[in-house]
């Protein structure tokens, strides 16, 4: 197991214990969070659809409303607005973040809402649904729909290959969880070749979904969850194996995870799965070899056919051979 953990670290994967390495060898289902895991998490504004105001005013309201949020979508809106040099923070008043929905902010004495369709529905605001591919942010000012901003996130270059490699490594089921709309989630899942996708999920919904998937697991088989955000920490803890992104991932996700991908490359998962299976194979070889030789020498000793040299070999010799065999795990490529 030390050899297997060493081989994983050489390949850019931190495995926090031998029990997790063993669990990886038994994994047949892997669940991915979308943003920052299969996609780059580099959001860019691609569409601005104002309603009753100019596009510049809509973007200004969105940037001010999202100013105190650290969500990647908020950062992309602020970056796009900042490029135009129109930010004036003195107009921002009280700000409230509504988990899983969006934000409510006072701007120039008006109440501005920015978030998803659920936020508009919860506030009983009549809005125009947008079917564009991407993350859609709806805005309203003083209870009146103000427009839509569409933000797109690019899929990681090697994500599709990573899914294919996992299938070749023996993983039978690949699943994606996302808070995005159904059209966006299904488009990404089809592009990557995933087996299942669950969309429009709140952070708490992701835990419940993983619970259901765990209940459907076959006896002795394991489920892994891959995420990077602070709201993924509960799911990483609940899964049999939690895998976090080490570069862009939040501290909470890295702390909660059992395995950390140091360069955020999902292709590393199939590598560590192969390492874990090779490691477990070597473990079984060593156990069979050691017990077999000891049983043989013990039997010979019972009939007076084994001398001191055979006994030394059965003890020290077998240990040395087992260690040399275990060192093969270090050379896994």
- What are the catalytic residues? 33
Closest by CA to 227, choosing from 166, 191, 192, 179, is 179
Rounded (5°) CA angle 158-159-161: 65
72-83 helix and 55-65 helix, angle to the nearest 10 degrees: 130
Those residues whose C-beta lies under 8 Å from the C-beta of residue 104, and which sit 6 or more positions away, are 95, 96, 98, 111, 112, 113
Instruction: Transcribe 188-213 into DSSP letters.
Output: HHHHHT-SEEE-S--HHHHHHHHHHH
Point out which residues pair with 115 in neighbouring strands: 102, 138
Count CA within 13 A, CB hemisphere, residue 291. 6
- Tell me which residue of 167, 243, 248 sits closest to 210, measured CA to CA: 243
144-155 vs 135-141, strand pairing mode: antiparallel
Angstrom distance (rounded) from CA 47 to CA 63:
15
Beta bridge partners of 150: 47, 136
**DSSP string over 97-125:** EETTTEEEEEETTEEEEEE-HHHHHHTT-
CA 161 to chain centroid: 16
Say how far apart CA 310 and CA 301 lie, in whole Å.
9
DSSP 317: I
Is 248 exposed, middle or buried (CB count within 10 Å of its CB: 0-12, 13-18, 19+)?
A: middle
């Amino acid at each position: 197991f030390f050899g297997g953990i060493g081989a994983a670290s050489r390949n850019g994967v931190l495995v926090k214990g031998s029990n997790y390495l063993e669990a990886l060898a038994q994994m047949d289902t892997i669940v991915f969070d979308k943003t920052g895991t299969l996609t780059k998490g580099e959001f860019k504004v691609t569409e601005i659809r104002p309603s009753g105001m100019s596009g510049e005013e809509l973007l200004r309201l969105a940037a001010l409303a999202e100013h105190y949020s650290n969500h990647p979508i908020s950062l992309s809106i602020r970056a796009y607005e900042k490029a135009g040099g129109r930010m004036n923070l003195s107009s921002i008043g009280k700000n409230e973040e509504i988990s899983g929905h969006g934000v409510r902010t006072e701007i120039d004495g008006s109440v501005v809402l920015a978030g998803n369709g659920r936020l508009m529905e919860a506030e009983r605001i009549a809005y125009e649904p947008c079917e564009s591919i991407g993350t859609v942010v709806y805005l309203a000012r003083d209870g009146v729909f103000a427009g839509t901003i569409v933000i797109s996130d690019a899929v990681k270059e090697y994500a599709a290959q990573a899914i294919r490699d996992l299938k070749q490594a023996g993983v039978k089921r690949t699943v994606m969880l996302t808070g995005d709309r159904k059209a966006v989630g299904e488009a990404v899942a089809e592009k990557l070749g995933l087996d299942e996708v669950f969309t429009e999920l709140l952070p708490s919904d992701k835990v419940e979904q993983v619970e259901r998937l765990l209940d459907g697991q076959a006896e002795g088989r394991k489920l892994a969850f891959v995420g990077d955000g602070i709201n993924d920490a509960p799911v990483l803890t609940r899964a049999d194996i939690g895998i976090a992104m080490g570069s862009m991932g939040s501290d909470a996700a890295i702390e909660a995870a059992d395995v950390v991908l140091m360069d955020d490359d999902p292709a590393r998962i199939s590598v560590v799965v192969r390492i874990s299976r090779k490691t477990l194979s070597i473990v079984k070889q060593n156990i069979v070899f050691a017990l077999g030789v000891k049983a043989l020498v013990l039997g010979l000793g019972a009939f007076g056919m084994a001398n001191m040299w055979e006994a030394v070999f059965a003890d020290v010799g077998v240990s040395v051979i087992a260690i040399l065999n275990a060192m093969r795990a270090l050379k896994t490529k």
